[in-house]
Amino acid sequence: MVEQPTIDPMHQFLIHKIVELPSFTIGGLVVDMSITNSVASMLAGAVILVAFFALTARGQLVPNRAQAVAEAFYNIVDRILVSPIIGPGGKPYIPYLFTLFMVIMVLNLMGVVLALGNLGGLSLTFTVTSQLAVTATLAVLTFFSVFILGFIKHGPKFLGIFFPSGMGIFGAIAMAPIEMISYFVRPVTLAMRLFGNMLGGHVVMSLFGSFVVALGIVGLSGGLATLAFIPSALSFGMIVALTGLELVVAILQAFVFTALATVYLNEVVNFGHGH
Amino acid sequence: MEAEAAKLIGAGLATSGMIGAGIGLGTLFGNYLQAAIRNPSAAAGQQAMLFLGMALTETMGLFAFVVSLIILFAS
Protein backbone atom coordinates (compact mmCIF):
# COMPACT_ATOMS: atom_id res chain seq x y z
CA MET A 1 0.00 0.00 0.00
CA VAL A 2 1.45 3.32 -1.07
CA GLU A 3 1.27 6.14 1.42
CA GLN A 4 -1.64 8.55 0.84
CA PRO A 5 -0.63 12.11 -0.03
CA THR A 6 -1.98 14.78 2.29
CA ILE A 7 -4.65 17.01 0.80
CA ASP A 8 -3.61 20.58 1.49
CA PRO A 9 -5.16 23.02 -1.00
CA MET A 10 -3.89 26.11 0.83
CA HIS A 11 -0.23 25.14 0.48
CA GLN A 12 0.05 26.79 -2.94
CA PHE A 13 -0.59 30.22 -1.43
CA LEU A 14 2.31 30.10 1.03
CA ILE A 15 5.03 32.67 0.51
CA HIS A 16 8.61 31.49 0.82
CA LYS A 17 11.90 33.18 0.12
CA ILE A 18 13.84 32.29 -3.01
CA VAL A 19 16.76 34.71 -2.68
CA GLU A 20 17.76 36.04 0.72
CA LEU A 21 18.60 39.73 0.68
CA PRO A 22 19.51 41.89 3.67
CA SER A 23 16.66 43.71 5.39
CA PHE A 24 16.89 47.30 6.59
CA THR A 25 14.90 49.44 8.96
CA ILE A 26 13.14 52.72 8.21
CA GLY A 27 11.60 54.44 11.22
CA GLY A 28 11.02 51.25 13.17
CA LEU A 29 9.59 49.36 10.17
CA VAL A 30 11.66 46.39 9.06
CA VAL A 31 11.74 46.21 5.28
CA ASP A 32 12.70 42.77 4.04
CA MET A 33 14.14 43.01 0.54
CA SER A 34 14.27 39.23 -0.03
CA ILE A 35 12.88 37.94 -3.31
CA THR A 36 9.95 35.66 -2.47
CA ASN A 37 7.95 33.58 -4.92
CA SER A 38 5.37 36.39 -4.96
CA VAL A 39 7.96 38.99 -5.91
CA ALA A 40 9.45 36.68 -8.54
CA SER A 41 6.02 36.16 -10.12
CA MET A 42 5.35 39.90 -10.16
CA LEU A 43 8.73 40.53 -11.80
CA ALA A 44 7.98 37.86 -14.40
CA GLY A 45 4.60 39.47 -15.05
CA ALA A 46 6.23 42.86 -15.48
CA VAL A 47 8.78 41.43 -17.92
CA ILE A 48 6.01 39.72 -19.93
CA LEU A 49 3.95 42.92 -20.08
CA VAL A 50 6.81 45.23 -21.03
CA ALA A 51 8.17 42.78 -23.61
CA PHE A 52 4.72 42.30 -25.15
CA PHE A 53 4.09 46.01 -25.57
CA ALA A 54 7.65 46.76 -26.63
CA LEU A 55 7.30 44.24 -29.43
CA THR A 56 3.93 45.58 -30.57
CA ALA A 57 4.65 49.28 -30.11
CA ARG A 58 5.76 49.86 -33.71
CA GLY A 59 2.35 50.70 -35.13
CA GLN A 60 1.56 49.52 -38.64
CA LEU A 61 -1.52 50.45 -40.63
CA VAL A 62 -2.28 46.76 -41.20
CA PRO A 63 -1.46 45.19 -37.82
CA ASN A 64 0.34 41.90 -37.51
CA ARG A 65 -0.98 39.29 -35.08
CA ALA A 66 0.66 40.58 -31.89
CA GLN A 67 -0.35 44.16 -32.63
CA ALA A 68 -3.94 43.06 -33.30
CA VAL A 69 -4.04 41.42 -29.87
CA ALA A 70 -2.66 44.53 -28.20
CA GLU A 71 -5.21 46.70 -30.02
CA ALA A 72 -8.03 44.35 -29.01
CA PHE A 73 -7.09 44.77 -25.34
CA TYR A 74 -6.96 48.51 -25.79
CA ASN A 75 -10.40 48.46 -27.43
CA ILE A 76 -11.86 46.55 -24.47
CA VAL A 77 -10.84 49.40 -22.18
CA ASP A 78 -11.59 52.25 -24.59
CA ARG A 79 -14.65 51.23 -26.61
CA ILE A 80 -16.48 48.95 -24.16
CA LEU A 81 -15.71 50.71 -20.89
CA VAL A 82 -14.44 54.28 -20.97
CA SER A 83 -16.24 55.75 -23.98
CA PRO A 84 -19.76 54.43 -23.19
CA ILE A 85 -19.55 54.92 -19.42
CA ILE A 86 -17.63 58.19 -19.00
CA GLY A 87 -17.77 59.73 -22.47
CA PRO A 88 -15.15 62.02 -24.01
CA GLY A 89 -14.08 63.32 -20.57
CA GLY A 90 -12.62 59.91 -19.75
CA LYS A 91 -9.79 59.99 -22.30
CA PRO A 92 -7.11 61.28 -19.88
CA TYR A 93 -7.68 58.32 -17.54
CA ILE A 94 -7.37 55.54 -20.10
CA PRO A 95 -3.63 54.96 -19.41
CA TYR A 96 -4.28 54.17 -15.74
CA LEU A 97 -7.32 52.00 -16.43
CA PHE A 98 -5.51 50.17 -19.23
CA THR A 99 -2.49 49.52 -17.02
CA LEU A 100 -4.77 48.24 -14.28
CA PHE A 101 -6.53 45.92 -16.71
CA MET A 102 -3.34 44.52 -18.22
CA VAL A 103 -1.55 44.02 -14.90
CA ILE A 104 -4.45 42.18 -13.30
CA MET A 105 -5.10 40.11 -16.40
CA VAL A 106 -1.47 39.06 -16.88
CA LEU A 107 -1.04 38.17 -13.20
CA ASN A 108 -4.33 36.22 -13.20
CA LEU A 109 -3.49 34.35 -16.38
CA MET A 110 0.02 33.50 -15.15
CA GLY A 111 -1.59 31.80 -12.17
CA VAL A 112 -3.82 29.64 -14.39
CA VAL A 113 -1.64 28.94 -17.42
CA LEU A 114 1.50 28.15 -15.46
CA ALA A 115 -0.35 26.41 -12.59
CA LEU A 116 1.07 23.04 -13.68
CA GLY A 117 4.08 23.86 -11.53
CA ASN A 118 1.96 23.41 -8.42
CA LEU A 119 1.56 19.67 -8.89
CA GLY A 120 3.31 17.36 -6.48
CA GLY A 121 4.05 19.90 -3.79
CA LEU A 122 6.34 21.93 -6.03
CA SER A 123 5.34 25.54 -6.27
CA LEU A 124 7.21 26.92 -9.22
CA THR A 125 4.48 29.42 -9.98
CA PHE A 126 2.35 31.55 -7.83
CA THR A 127 -0.90 33.45 -8.29
CA VAL A 128 -0.03 36.93 -7.14
CA THR A 129 -3.64 38.14 -7.23
CA SER A 130 -4.69 35.45 -4.74
CA GLN A 131 -2.86 37.45 -2.04
CA LEU A 132 -5.13 39.88 -0.23
CA ALA A 133 -2.17 42.24 0.26
CA VAL A 134 -1.75 42.66 -3.50
CA THR A 135 -5.43 43.08 -4.35
CA ALA A 136 -5.96 45.43 -1.41
CA THR A 137 -3.07 47.57 -2.60
CA LEU A 138 -4.55 47.81 -6.09
CA ALA A 139 -8.02 48.55 -4.72
CA VAL A 140 -6.90 51.19 -2.20
CA LEU A 141 -4.68 52.84 -4.80
CA THR A 142 -7.54 53.02 -7.29
CA PHE A 143 -10.18 54.11 -4.82
CA PHE A 144 -8.21 56.87 -3.12
CA SER A 145 -6.77 58.28 -6.34
CA VAL A 146 -10.33 58.60 -7.62
CA PHE A 147 -11.51 60.09 -4.32
CA ILE A 148 -8.68 62.64 -4.19
CA LEU A 149 -9.17 63.46 -7.87
CA GLY A 150 -12.75 64.41 -6.99
CA PHE A 151 -11.53 66.98 -4.49
CA ILE A 152 -8.91 68.30 -6.91
CA LYS A 153 -11.47 68.76 -9.68
CA HIS A 154 -14.49 69.96 -7.69
CA GLY A 155 -13.16 71.17 -4.34
CA PRO A 156 -15.35 70.85 -1.23
CA LYS A 157 -18.45 70.61 -3.45
CA PHE A 158 -17.42 66.99 -4.05
CA LEU A 159 -18.77 66.09 -0.59
CA GLY A 160 -22.16 66.41 -2.31
CA ILE A 161 -21.89 62.79 -3.46
CA PHE A 162 -22.78 61.78 0.09
CA PHE A 163 -26.05 63.73 -0.02
CA PRO A 164 -28.53 62.24 -2.49
CA SER A 165 -30.44 64.88 -4.44
CA GLY A 166 -34.22 65.07 -4.57
CA MET A 167 -34.82 64.00 -0.98
CA GLY A 168 -35.12 67.35 0.77
CA ILE A 169 -32.61 68.63 3.28
CA PHE A 170 -33.56 66.32 6.16
CA GLY A 171 -33.80 63.24 4.02
CA ALA A 172 -30.39 63.94 2.54
CA ILE A 173 -28.79 64.42 5.98
CA ALA A 174 -30.40 61.22 7.24
CA MET A 175 -29.10 59.31 4.24
CA ALA A 176 -25.55 60.71 4.42
CA PRO A 177 -24.13 58.11 6.88
CA ILE A 178 -25.53 55.23 4.83
CA GLU A 179 -24.15 56.73 1.64
CA MET A 180 -20.78 57.20 3.31
CA ILE A 181 -20.63 53.57 4.43
CA SER A 182 -21.60 52.31 1.00
CA TYR A 183 -18.99 54.59 -0.54
CA PHE A 184 -16.08 53.67 1.71
CA VAL A 185 -16.76 49.94 1.56
CA ARG A 186 -15.86 50.06 -2.14
CA PRO A 187 -12.12 49.34 -1.81
CA VAL A 188 -12.98 46.41 0.48
CA THR A 189 -15.34 44.89 -2.06
CA LEU A 190 -12.89 45.54 -4.91
CA ALA A 191 -10.09 43.77 -3.07
CA MET A 192 -12.28 40.93 -1.79
CA ARG A 193 -13.79 40.18 -5.20
CA LEU A 194 -10.49 39.64 -6.98
CA PHE A 195 -8.93 37.84 -4.01
CA GLY A 196 -11.93 35.57 -3.42
CA ASN A 197 -12.33 34.63 -7.07
CA MET A 198 -8.68 33.75 -7.53
CA LEU A 199 -8.35 31.94 -4.19
CA GLY A 200 -11.60 30.03 -4.61
CA GLY A 201 -10.83 28.89 -8.14
CA HIS A 202 -7.36 27.70 -7.29
CA VAL A 203 -8.49 25.89 -4.15
CA VAL A 204 -11.12 23.97 -6.13
CA MET A 205 -8.60 23.08 -8.85
CA SER A 206 -6.08 21.94 -6.26
CA LEU A 207 -8.73 19.84 -4.49
CA PHE A 208 -9.68 18.00 -7.67
CA GLY A 209 -5.98 17.52 -8.42
CA SER A 210 -5.57 15.87 -5.02
CA PHE A 211 -8.57 13.60 -5.76
CA VAL A 212 -6.93 12.37 -8.96
CA VAL A 213 -3.76 11.34 -7.12
CA ALA A 214 -5.45 9.98 -3.98
CA LEU A 215 -8.06 7.90 -5.85
CA GLY A 216 -5.47 6.73 -8.38
CA ILE A 217 -3.31 5.38 -5.56
CA VAL A 218 -6.35 3.58 -4.09
CA GLY A 219 -7.02 2.09 -7.53
CA LEU A 220 -3.48 0.75 -7.79
CA SER A 221 -4.03 -1.63 -4.85
CA GLY A 222 -5.96 -3.98 -7.17
CA GLY A 223 -9.14 -6.04 -6.74
CA LEU A 224 -12.42 -4.18 -6.32
CA ALA A 225 -10.47 -1.00 -5.53
CA THR A 226 -9.57 -0.76 -9.23
CA LEU A 227 -13.00 0.89 -9.61
CA ALA A 228 -11.50 3.96 -7.92
CA PHE A 229 -9.90 4.79 -11.27
CA ILE A 230 -13.35 5.89 -12.51
CA PRO A 231 -13.82 8.82 -10.09
CA SER A 232 -10.11 9.57 -10.53
CA ALA A 233 -10.63 10.00 -14.29
CA LEU A 234 -13.79 12.03 -13.67
CA SER A 235 -11.82 14.34 -11.37
CA PHE A 236 -9.24 14.77 -14.09
CA GLY A 237 -11.96 15.74 -16.56
CA MET A 238 -13.20 18.19 -13.96
CA ILE A 239 -9.73 19.81 -13.77
CA VAL A 240 -9.74 20.30 -17.54
CA ALA A 241 -13.17 21.95 -17.39
CA LEU A 242 -12.20 24.07 -14.39
CA THR A 243 -9.02 25.25 -16.09
CA GLY A 244 -11.15 26.52 -18.97
CA LEU A 245 -13.48 28.23 -16.52
CA GLU A 246 -10.54 29.78 -14.68
CA LEU A 247 -9.19 31.20 -17.93
CA VAL A 248 -12.52 32.96 -18.44
CA VAL A 249 -12.64 34.10 -14.82
CA ALA A 250 -9.09 35.47 -15.00
CA ILE A 251 -9.97 37.77 -17.90
CA LEU A 252 -13.44 38.55 -16.57
CA GLN A 253 -12.17 39.62 -13.15
CA ALA A 254 -9.61 41.95 -14.71
CA PHE A 255 -12.45 43.38 -16.82
CA VAL A 256 -14.74 43.73 -13.82
CA PHE A 257 -12.09 45.44 -11.69
CA THR A 258 -11.44 47.93 -14.49
CA ALA A 259 -15.18 48.39 -15.12
CA LEU A 260 -15.82 49.25 -11.49
CA ALA A 261 -12.85 51.64 -11.46
CA THR A 262 -14.37 53.27 -14.55
CA VAL A 263 -17.77 53.57 -12.88
CA TYR A 264 -16.20 55.17 -9.81
CA LEU A 265 -14.22 57.53 -12.03
CA ASN A 266 -17.41 58.43 -13.91
CA GLU A 267 -18.95 59.83 -10.71
CA VAL A 268 -15.96 62.15 -10.40
CA VAL A 269 -15.60 63.23 -14.04
CA ASN A 270 -19.32 63.75 -14.64
CA PHE A 271 -20.02 65.05 -11.13
CA GLY A 272 -23.16 67.19 -11.03
CA HIS A 273 -24.28 66.27 -14.57
CA GLY A 274 -27.62 64.77 -13.62
CA HIS A 275 -26.36 61.94 -11.45
CA MET B 1 -18.97 20.11 21.89
CA GLU B 2 -15.31 20.45 21.12
CA ALA B 3 -14.13 23.84 19.90
CA GLU B 4 -12.52 22.32 16.81
CA ALA B 5 -15.77 20.64 15.78
CA ALA B 6 -17.76 23.82 16.38
CA LYS B 7 -15.29 25.68 14.17
CA LEU B 8 -15.76 23.26 11.29
CA ILE B 9 -19.55 23.33 11.61
CA GLY B 10 -19.48 27.12 11.73
CA ALA B 11 -17.33 27.31 8.60
CA GLY B 12 -19.80 25.06 6.82
CA LEU B 13 -22.77 27.12 7.98
CA ALA B 14 -21.06 30.34 6.90
CA THR B 15 -21.04 29.15 3.30
CA SER B 16 -24.86 29.11 3.31
CA GLY B 17 -24.61 32.79 2.43
CA MET B 18 -23.79 31.58 -1.07
CA ILE B 19 -27.45 30.53 -1.47
CA GLY B 20 -28.34 34.17 -1.94
CA ALA B 21 -25.56 34.72 -4.45
CA GLY B 22 -26.75 31.69 -6.41
CA ILE B 23 -30.34 32.95 -6.52
CA GLY B 24 -29.08 36.39 -7.51
CA LEU B 25 -26.93 35.11 -10.35
CA GLY B 26 -29.79 32.96 -11.62
CA THR B 27 -32.14 35.93 -11.61
CA LEU B 28 -29.54 38.10 -13.31
CA PHE B 29 -28.68 35.79 -16.18
CA GLY B 30 -32.25 34.53 -16.52
CA ASN B 31 -33.61 38.03 -16.93
CA TYR B 32 -30.79 38.97 -19.26
CA LEU B 33 -31.50 35.98 -21.50
CA GLN B 34 -35.22 36.72 -21.46
CA ALA B 35 -34.61 40.29 -22.53
CA ALA B 36 -31.97 39.23 -25.07
CA ILE B 37 -34.36 36.77 -26.75
CA ARG B 38 -37.10 39.37 -26.93
CA ASN B 39 -34.81 41.99 -28.42
CA PRO B 40 -31.57 40.41 -29.69
CA SER B 41 -30.31 43.61 -31.30
CA ALA B 42 -30.12 45.40 -27.94
CA ALA B 43 -28.44 42.48 -26.14
CA ALA B 44 -24.83 43.14 -27.10
CA GLY B 45 -24.91 46.69 -25.76
CA GLN B 46 -25.90 45.55 -22.29
CA GLN B 47 -23.18 42.94 -21.83
CA ALA B 48 -20.89 45.29 -19.89
CA MET B 49 -23.73 45.99 -17.47
CA LEU B 50 -24.42 42.26 -17.20
CA PHE B 51 -20.88 41.49 -16.12
CA LEU B 52 -20.89 44.43 -13.75
CA GLY B 53 -24.07 43.12 -12.12
CA MET B 54 -22.56 39.65 -12.03
CA ALA B 55 -19.48 40.95 -10.23
CA LEU B 56 -21.53 42.83 -7.65
CA THR B 57 -23.77 39.81 -7.01
CA GLU B 58 -20.89 37.41 -6.85
CA THR B 59 -19.17 39.52 -4.21
CA MET B 60 -21.88 38.64 -1.73
CA GLY B 61 -21.16 34.95 -2.20
CA LEU B 62 -17.43 35.58 -1.93
CA PHE B 63 -17.96 37.38 1.37
CA ALA B 64 -19.52 34.18 2.69
CA PHE B 65 -16.54 32.23 1.35
CA VAL B 66 -14.05 34.60 2.96
CA VAL B 67 -15.91 34.48 6.29
CA SER B 68 -15.75 30.70 6.26
CA LEU B 69 -12.01 30.85 5.45
CA ILE B 70 -11.49 33.28 8.34
CA ILE B 71 -13.29 30.89 10.69
CA LEU B 72 -11.22 27.95 9.47
CA PHE B 73 -7.75 29.48 9.30
CA ALA B 74 -7.59 32.79 11.12
CA SER B 75 -9.37 32.14 14.40
Give pLDDT tens digits for A9-35: 777 777 777 777 877 777 777 877 788
Amino acid in the structure at residue A247: L
Work out the minimum CA distance from A17 to partner chain B, whole angstroms.
22
Contacts of B66 in chain A (CB under 8 A): 192, 195-196
Task: Measure A273 CA to nearest chain B CA, in Å.
Answer: 20
Q: Would you call A107 an interface residue with chain B, using a CB distance cutoff of 8 Å?
A: no
Pick the closest to residue A102 from A57, A49, A39, A43 (CA basis). Answer: A49
* pLDDT (0 to 100) of residue B36: 93
Name every chain B residue with its beta carbon within 8 A of the beta carbon of A263: 52
Average the pLDDT over B35-56 and give the result: 86
Provide the percentage of residues in chain A whose pLDDT is more than 90: 25
- Residue A4 is given by DSSP the state P
- What is the helix (H) or strand (E) element at residue A53, kind and residue range? helix A37-56
**A199 and B59 in contact by Cβ < 8 A?**
no
DSSP helix, strand, coil percent of chain A (3-state; round to 5): 75, 5, 20
pLDDT over 90 (residue A174): no
Q: How far is B53 from chain A (nearest CA, A)?
A: 10
Determine contact: B12 vs chain A, CB below 8 A.
no
Among B48, B56, B62, beta carbon nearest to A81 = B48
* CA distances (Å), origin A128, targets A39, A171, A197, A270, B11: 8, 44, 13, 34, 25
B59 to chain A, minimum CA–CA distance in Å? 6
Q: Tell me: pLDDT of A217 over 70.
A: yes
pLDDT (0 to 100) of residue B46: 84
Say if the Cβ atoms of A256 and B55 lie within 8 Å: yes
Interface contact A193-B62, CB threshold 8 A: yes
First to last CA, chain A: 68
Q: How far apart are CA A120 and CA B40, in angstroms?
A: 48
Give this prediction's pTM. Answer: 0.84
Residues of A in contact with B56 (CB under 8 A): 189
What mean pLDDT comes out for the span A130-141? 92
- Asked whether the beta carbons of residue B66 and residue A195 sit closer than 8 angstroms, the reply is yes
- The mean per-residue pLDDT over the stretch A62-87 comes to 87
Lowest-confidence segment of A111-115, A123-127, A201-205, A210-214 by average pLDDT = A123-127
DSSP per-residue string spanning B45-65: GGHHHHHHHHHHHHHHHHHHH
Q: Note whether B52 contacts A: Cβ–Cβ < 8 A.
A: yes
How many separate helices (H) and strands (E) can be counted in chain A?
8, 4
Using CB atoms, which residue from A80, A196, A199 is nearest to B48? A80
pLDDT band at A136 (very low <50, low <70, confident <90, very high): very high
pLDDT band at A2; cut points 50, 70, 90:
low
Residue B29, chain A, CB below 8 Å: the answer is: no
A168: alpha, beta or left? (left if phi > 0; alpha if psi -120 to 50): left
Q: Measure the CA–CA gap between A48 and A232, rounded to whole angstroms.
A: 35
How does pLDDT run across A91-126, given as a tens digit for each residue? 999 999 999 999 999 999 988 877 555 555 555 668
Q: How far is CA A141 from each of CA A95, A96, A188, B2, rounded to the nearest angstrom?
A: 15, 11, 12, 43
Cross-strand bridge partners of residue A260:
none
Residue B61 has pLDDT above 70, yes or no: yes
Residue A71 has pLDDT above 80, yes or no: yes
Handedness of CA A254, A259, A265, A267 (dihedral sign): negative
* Predicted local distance difference test score (pLDDT) of residue A118: 52
Q: Taking every pair of C-alpha atoms in chain B, what is the biggest distance, in angstroms? A: 59
Residue A137: its pLDDT value, please? 93
Most B CBs within 10 A among A75, A182, A189, hence the mutation to make, goes to A189
pLDDT at res. A117: 53
* pLDDT at residue A275, rounded to an integer: 47
- A234-272 confidence digits (pLDDT tens): 999 988 998 888 898 899 999 999 999 999 999 888 887
B58:A193 CB<8 A: yes
- Residue-averaged pLDDT of chain A: 84
Mean local confidence (pLDDT), A58-81: 85
From first CA to last CA, the distance across chain B in angstroms is 17
